[in-house]
A and B are shown apart, each in its own frame.
Chain A
């Protein structure tokens, strides 16, 4: 063989070796071997689970062990990391709580790390699954319950509850119910909130509206919009971020389902149910309101705060947003500087004199036949953390859930107190007397049926939300018909659900 040819063979072999090396170590299997999920369920007894709902067909949850005593045997201080997506005033409140916890004991040192928005946090968690990048504790969005179940990446809080014989009956029942699947409590409510209506009383007065009677239905919203715009009290009446939870909460308040199989609670959801007259009406309402100038609607994307800013600078009079923003709003109007974090809001941007912000429950579309829905962020303990870290996480949670801590937490962050005994604490009573806005969220849930307040159980929740928003944006921002928008959402949503269910096996 000539030298040139031999060289070429050498190169080829070298290249092939590299490829073979690359393929080695892959975890593929060529047959359709489906891993049979072990069907052992919780070893411990279900003590204080508030859930009385049906078991979800086809889902088996391994509860695992939570070694709550591991802390006693730990030699060094256990470093505990907690990821979260809180911003502005809430973030500050969390950091202060962490400091209080660290000061109160010397076995655990807690560090809280903000990871952007809930979506960004979830992306990060997903990317870190199976690696040791994952922290022991994460405050993930309430919608991620199914995700953690299917990826088997969370240690159900039930394990620690059982091991520590903890009584959860004082914790917010609707939330406990929401986080319980097949009688297993997956997470503890931590950053609990619900959408509320923020409105500027000054604008109401200027428009001739009664500032003590904010709209309770979307029909009344429309009237208020018209009055505000006509009177020139503001350029727009309502300001909204076109977020999927708007649809989700309105659907829940109308006692309708978002996905099939009882919102995913009786079996895995495989159909997105936005093809309903209610959703068509909602989207058409939004579209019309944009057209007649009463509503300014902005797209949902990471770091989107334009809808808040619109109210802050007086362009709009109302906005529907999380109840957890109250603390930040109050801090801004009081002239305090707020850690902008990802909020992008700064006190200097706001003309304080024009604002007299009050809070009311979120309007229903027509009337409240269903319920407000439990939401916010839940505390999930990660499965692949070390026993010491898991014990540390539980220790912190126990600390955080005491009535005193919950009182401070609520007062500083405006998140709902997770422990109902906290409302009897003097700090809370004082605050609510002085500023009823803080009480609004809690009061909407006081007499609610926990089963109705549960949110849907969906594996690929983020993707389903994207599908809903695609349809909503097409209608509200791009002027398509509601039917077209619903088709878009249904098609995408169903595909996403089908893919997930396939992958879940």
Chain B
């Protein structure tokens, strides 16, 4: 039986209709054709660098161009993974993430909830709170630098020169930077909460706090989960703020993993490659954990 003679029948409930195998293949090819541009971009800018970086972790580069690379197996991995400085970097990154994600979520929820009230002038606040989305990291960090500069900043504080306040300042800038998108995401979630659900809660006797806790938050839990995951990933990739505000200081207090990779890229590319892969793997693992731990509590609707 030739290909074109093979028929597949599909029953869609309203009757059956036939599509030839040739039509199916053609449709699949068209699908790949449309996907191709996206796939190519992904392949070139994501997959290829990822694989090359992984490849690079097993080699020690020579010093001069065209120098051969030396295969050193897992040596670079053990070096980096056993380096106590790197452990400290990872801890710092986790700490920064914590100081960024939780306040951003809470603030984003609070602001979105406030703006969602039927009061006059709320559309103005909607615009205002969304503006961080439109600012670049560099610009925002510069503004914070103007505020916090130990020499001649507008706020006369020396946060940037002391380790713990410096990390907090970076977190502050980070929270501000990400507040826009968090606010927008959560607001969208809030606006899709059915009105009568809130009204029922009001009539049932729930005050604003209980409504938020027992009705609103569970209903928007998919949105919150999404924001949580995205914020975590973004916070692990913090770079611009550190480059402008603290350059990894004071005394490495703000040397988080992406900044570490960046400063190592020329002088120790092998180690930088290892750290990049560790970052990638770590984020995948972390996202996994987030889903496993929290998915139970996320209610995806009827």
Inter-chain contacts of B150 with A (CB < 8 A): 306
Tell me the A26-71 residues at the B interface (CB within 8 Å). Answer: 26-35
Asked if A150 and B51 make an inter-chain contact with CB atoms under 8 angstroms apart, the answer reads no
Tell me the B61-90 residues at the A interface (CB within 8 Å). Answer: 61-71
Asked if A7 and B28 make an inter-chain contact with CB atoms under 8 angstroms apart, the answer reads yes
Asked if B71 and A153 make an inter-chain contact with CB atoms under 8 angstroms apart, the answer reads no
Report if B159 contacts A (CB, 8 A). Answer: no
Q: How far is the CA of A180 from the CA of B248 in the complex (A)?
A: 36
Asked if B267 and A153 make an inter-chain contact with CB atoms under 8 angstroms apart, the answer reads no
Inter-chain contacts of A153 with B (CB < 8 A): 64-65
The tally of residues in B whose CB lies under 8 Å from a CB in A reads: 40
Asked whether A502 and B247 contact (CB < 8 A) given A129-B65, A153-B65, A349-B152, the answer is: no
* Main secondary structure on B side of the interface with A: loop
Taking the closest CB of chain B, its distance from the CB of A217, in whole angstroms, is 29
User: Hey, what's the 0/1 contact readout for A12-34 against B, CB within 8 Å counting as 1?
Assistant: 00100011001100111111111
Report if A477 contacts B (CB, 8 A). Answer: yes
Taking the closest CB of chain A, its distance from the CB of B26, in whole angstroms, is 13
Asked whether A503 and B62 contact (CB < 8 A) given A27-B69, A306-B150, the answer is: yes
Q: How far is the CA of A22 from the CA of B52 in the complex (A)?
A: 7
Asked if B266 and A127 make an inter-chain contact with CB atoms under 8 angstroms apart, the answer reads yes
Asked if A23 and B55 make an inter-chain contact with CB atoms under 8 angstroms apart, the answer reads yes
User: Hey, what's the 0/1 contact readout for A349-386 against B, CB within 8 Å counting as 1?
Assistant: 10000000000000000000000000000000000000
Q: Which of B32, B70, B161, B163 has the most CB of A within 10 A?
A: B70
Inter-chain contacts of A29 with B (CB < 8 A): 68-69, 71
Asked if B63 and A150 make an inter-chain contact with CB atoms under 8 angstroms apart, the answer reads yes
Report if A299 contacts B (CB, 8 A). Answer: yes
User: Hey, what's the 0/1 contact readout for B208-247 against A, CB within 8 Å counting as 1?
Assistant: 0000000000000000000000000000000000000011
Report if B251 contacts A (CB, 8 A). Answer: yes
Report if A276 contacts B (CB, 8 A). Answer: no
Inter-chain contacts of A31 with B (CB < 8 A): 71
**Which residue on B lies nearest to A29, using beta carbons?**
B68
Inter-chain contacts of A127 with B (CB < 8 A): 265-266
Report if A504 contacts B (CB, 8 A). Answer: yes
Asked if A32 and B267 make an inter-chain contact with CB atoms under 8 angstroms apart, the answer reads no
Inter-chain contacts of A152 with B (CB < 8 A): 63-65
Asked if B267 and A151 make an inter-chain contact with CB atoms under 8 angstroms apart, the answer reads no
Asked if B249 and A478 make an inter-chain contact with CB atoms under 8 angstroms apart, the answer reads no
Q: How far is the CA of A503 from the CA of B72 in the complex (A)?
A: 11
**Which residue on B lies nearest to A308, using beta carbons?**
B151
Inter-chain contacts of A478 with B (CB < 8 A): 163, 251
Asked if B251 and A33 make an inter-chain contact with CB atoms under 8 angstroms apart, the answer reads no
Asked if B59 and A23 make an inter-chain contact with CB atoms under 8 angstroms apart, the answer reads no
Q: Which of B24, B55, B151, B152 has the most CB of A within 10 A?
A: B151
Report if B103 contacts A (CB, 8 A). Answer: no
Inter-chain contacts of B91 with A (CB < 8 A): none
**Which residue on A lies nearest to B59, using beta carbons?**
A28
Asked whether A27 and B68 contact (CB < 8 A) given A19-B47, A35-B62, A503-B60, the answer is: yes
Asked if B47 and A462 make an inter-chain contact with CB atoms under 8 angstroms apart, the answer reads no
Tell me the B91-114 residues at the A interface (CB within 8 Å). Answer: none
Taking the closest CB of chain A, its distance from the CB of B51, in whole angstroms, is 5
Asked if A28 and B69 make an inter-chain contact with CB atoms under 8 angstroms apart, the answer reads yes
Inter-chain contacts of A26 with B (CB < 8 A): 52, 55
Q: How far is the CA of A18 from the CA of B36 in the complex (A)?
A: 12
Asked if B268 and A499 make an inter-chain contact with CB atoms under 8 angstroms apart, the answer reads yes
Asked if A463 and B47 make an inter-chain contact with CB atoms under 8 angstroms apart, the answer reads no
Tell me the A299-342 residues at the B interface (CB within 8 Å). Answer: 299, 301-302, 306, 309
Q: What are 28 A-to-B residue pairs whose CB atoms are below 8 Å?
A: A7-B28, A18-B43, A18-B47, A22-B51, A23-B51, A26-B52, A27-B66, A28-B55, A28-B71, A29-B68, A34-B70, A127-B265, A130-B65, A130-B66, A150-B64, A152-B65, A298-B161, A299-B161, A301-B246, A301-B248, A306-B151, A309-B152, A349-B152, A462-B267, A463-B268, A502-B70, A503-B61, A503-B63
Given contacts A22-B43, A153-B65, 19 further A-B contacts (CB under 8 A): A3-B21, A14-B39, A18-B47, A18-B48, A22-B48, A23-B55, A29-B68, A33-B68, A35-B62, A35-B67, A126-B267, A127-B266, A150-B64, A459-B63, A462-B267, A477-B250, A502-B60, A503-B60, A503-B62
Q: Which residues of A contact B (CB under 8 A)?
A: 3, 7, 14, 18-19, 22-23, 26-35, 123, 126-127, 129-130, 150-153, 298-299, 301-302, 306, 309, 349, 459-460, 462-463, 470, 473-474, 477-478, 499-500, 502-505
